[in-house]
A and B are shown apart, each in its own frame.
Chain A
């Protein structure tokens, strides 16, 4: 069977415009969450978010590095984040210069949960105020979800599979899992895979707040707002950014002497078949996805050292934890589990990809990132290592990422150090 390894990483997050800045800040216990600055949020119930900082900030993102000025003007920010993260990953993998034959076998699977909501909001107002003749000719292709994959393929000449997953907050994990299958099935040797999101705009914040999903009670204490597994948690905090990995067929990576971070060994998918926004109270969907991923990986409970939880800082944390316990055991068989959404918020369609990268970095550096703000752990967390407040050195050979989305869609990924 063709094996799939990770040979490049790219991140744009509220903690940094690249992988190493984000990771260093995450391990240092920094929070990327603060008052919303992208627009005047004073009339919103929720006035905080995890925004990607501008280039003047020490952790800032400089869009000019990898995205043409013209494209920046034409497309929504989620596409800019995605193009940049994909470029970082290709550079990291040493694949910016490929042969024609390699390009024919290199593809993209970079999705988004929602796509270009800020642009849809603005152009919609423009349409109503000034008429159809003033709508931008770049409106449609500047907002479409598959246009990260489209733009990246054009920029780097990638002629393999061009795919984009849309499964709400499971998008990033599904994107990597699906892309790994494409390599395994011999559709491609190289896949750029991941997800991006940028919906910190008036209608995005209002929509999630109205759905009673957002935290609206910590507006005066933004860095404390995202507190997974804590008794005082009260909804998620919206983040934005992108995560993209280079997936590569193992022999292909070996032949060119590539640096190999980890192997993608397990992928599980399921549906809750229950409710549009709430997870099934019995957590069976989450459990099925995790069990499938472990089975595909040929691993047992005791082999998992780290779980990057979906852990959104909502009531659903309890359901996920119960499901993880059923799969790994009441003490998680010694695994550590944390929710990095405590530091960067919920990147929605980008979350699964960003958090899978954190799993890969945990394997690389033998350290697990913390769950911030976990000062008053909820019932049911006793005997479980949720890595409260501080990162911790520990052996990490295999890691599991969970991502669950609206519509009752679940994905679990297992990555493992190369044998």
Chain B
């Protein structure tokens, strides 16, 4: 797993209180990890902070899975 993936996973586990092995790139925040829309807002804020990246609302709306988040961060951070 990439460094980004590890750090994303850690944030998701901490915020959603889910088992680490459930947090794989295919996992949907809402369908698989029990998040609601406000949890996703909070997660996006945490990603912004961790990676120093800005995730505008229209981009955040397209982040449905853990993999979507990793991909967005890898393409836009730094």
A70/B45 in contact, CB under 8 A: no
**B17 sits at the interface (CB 8 A):** yes
**A68 sits at the interface (CB 8 A):** yes
Choose the segment among A18-26, A51-59, A93-101, A133-141 that binds chain B (4+ C-beta atoms closer than 8 Å).
A133-141
Cα–Cα distance between A133 and B42 once the two chains are bound (Å): 11
B15/A73 in contact, CB under 8 A: yes
Q: How many residues on A have C-beta within 8 angstroms of the other chain's C-beta atoms?
A: 9
Contact of B38 among A68, A133, A138 (CB under 8 A): A138
**B39 sits at the interface (CB 8 A):** yes
Please classify the interface of chain A as helix (H, G, I), strand (E, B), loop, or mixed, using the class held by over half of its residues.
Answer: helix
Q: Mark B1-23, 1 if CB is under 8 A from A, else 0.
A: 00000000000000111000000
**B30 sits at the interface (CB 8 A):** no
Which residue on B lies nearest to A64, using beta carbons?
A: B17
A137/B17 in contact, CB under 8 A: no
- Return chain B residues, CB-CB under 8 Å to A134: 45
Q: How many residues on B have C-beta within 8 angstroms of the other chain's C-beta atoms?
A: 9
- Return chain B residues, CB-CB under 8 Å to A256: none
A137/B41 in contact, CB under 8 A: yes
Which residue on B lies nearest to A130, using beta carbons?
A: B49
- Return chain B residues, CB-CB under 8 Å to A68: 17
Which residue on B lies nearest to A68, using beta carbons?
A: B17
Of residues 26 through 77 on chain A, the ones whose CB sits less than 8 Å from some CB of chain B are: 68-70, 73
Contact of A136 among B16, B17, B34, B42 (CB under 8 A): B42
Contact of A137 among B16, B34, B42 (CB under 8 A): B42
Contact of A138 among B16, B34, B42 (CB under 8 A): B42
Cα–Cα distance between A248 and B45 once the two chains are bound (Å): 44
Cα–Cα distance between A4 and B39 once the two chains are bound (Å): 40
A74 vs chain B, min Cβ distance (A): 8
B45 vs chain A, min Cβ distance (A): 7
Cα–Cα distance between A68 and B16 once the two chains are bound (Å): 9
- Return chain B residues, CB-CB under 8 Å to A137: 38, 41-42, 45
A70/B38 in contact, CB under 8 A: no
- Return chain B residues, CB-CB under 8 Å to A73: 15, 17
Cα–Cα distance between A138 and B35 once the two chains are bound (Å): 13
- Return chain B residues, CB-CB under 8 Å to A138: 38, 42
Q: Mark B24-65, 1 if CB is under 8 A from A, else 0.
A: 000000000010001101100100000000000000000000
- Return chain B residues, CB-CB under 8 Å to A70: 15-17, 34, 39
- Return chain A residues, CB-CB under 8 Å to B38: 137-138
- Return chain B residues, CB-CB under 8 Å to A136: 42, 45
Cα–Cα distance between A138 and B39 once the two chains are bound (Å): 8
Which residue on B lies nearest to A135, using beta carbons?
A: B45
Cα–Cα distance between A185 and B10 once the two chains are bound (Å): 51
Cα–Cα distance between A68 and B17 once the two chains are bound (Å): 8
Cα–Cα distance between A69 and B14 once the two chains are bound (Å): 9
- Return chain A residues, CB-CB under 8 Å to B39: 70
B36 vs chain A, min Cβ distance (A): 10
A387 vs chain B, min Cβ distance (A): 45
A322 vs chain B, min Cβ distance (A): 52
Cα–Cα distance between A69 and B33 once the two chains are bound (Å): 13
Of residues 109 through 155 on chain A, the ones whose CB sits less than 8 Å from some CB of chain B are: 133-134, 136-138
Which residue on A lies nearest to B14, using beta carbons?
A: A73
A136 vs chain B, min Cβ distance (A): 6
Cα–Cα distance between A134 and B16 once the two chains are bound (Å): 18
Known: A134-B45, A137-B42, A138-B42. 5 other contacts (CB 8 A): A70-B16, A70-B39, A136-B42, A136-B45, A137-B38
Which residues of A come within 8 Å of B, CB atoms?
Answer: 68-70, 73, 133-134, 136-138
A and B contact pairs by CB, cutoff 8 A, 19 listed: A68-B17, A69-B17, A70-B15, A70-B16, A70-B17, A70-B34, A70-B39, A73-B15, A73-B17, A133-B45, A134-B45, A136-B42, A136-B45, A137-B38, A137-B41, A137-B42, A137-B45, A138-B38, A138-B42
By Cβ-Cβ distance, the 8 closest A-B pairs, closest first, are: A69-B17, A137-B41, A70-B17, A137-B38, A137-B42, A70-B16, A68-B17, A138-B38
